[in-house]
Amino acid sequence: MFDAWKRLSAKGCANLVSERRRNHMSLVSWSTGLSTGVPMIDEHHARLIGLINRLHSAMKIGTSKSDIPWMLDELVDYTRYGFSEEEKLMAAHDYPRLVEHCEQHQQFAARLGDFQSALAAGDLGLPLKVLTFLREWLLTHIRRDDRAFGPYVTSGR
């Protein structure tokens, strides 16, 4: 019994260590400070952060340059999907800042489109610029704008 607990405990600790290493190597880490209080939006953000970190890891380990565009495409597609779902939920709750919020999403999506075009045109230094932009924009947007919406859902407004 004790041996089984020791094995499980050691395995649990090993998992914690590898998770800690993964987080340490990540460009962006999820934290409760990013929670909007709306599970669907939080799941989208967590997935988006995962895609940003995947792109970052791929660049760090020197993944084939041909892999970067499709990873960026997937990230852009998921961003658009997440924005669309978020906007539908805001509309369903008559969120008063919906128009302003949609405009922010559209500006961000347009910027990502520019990055995709530049990458297709051969700007190989671009992924690092994209990652920096994504991280800064996303963290600011979640903390300042998406979190402002959370109370509208949780209070049933």
Please report, as ranges, the residues that interact with Fe ion according to CB under 5 A: 146
DSSP code of 127? Answer: H
Token pair 């690092």: residue: 128
Q: How far apart are the first and last CA of the chain?
A: 52
Closer of 42 and 146 to Fe ion (Cβ): 146
Nearer to Fe ion, 53 or 79 (CB): 79
Rounded to a whole number of angstroms, the minimum distance from the CB of residue 67 to Fe ion is 28
Segments in 26-146 forming alpha helices (H): 39-60, 67-92, 98-120, 126-141
**Closest approach of Fe ion to the CB of residue 119, in Å:** 24
For the record, the structure tokens of 143 come out as 């903390």
Shortest distance (Å) from residue 102 CB to Fe ion: 9
Our CB check for Fe ion shows the closer of 108 and 115 to be 108
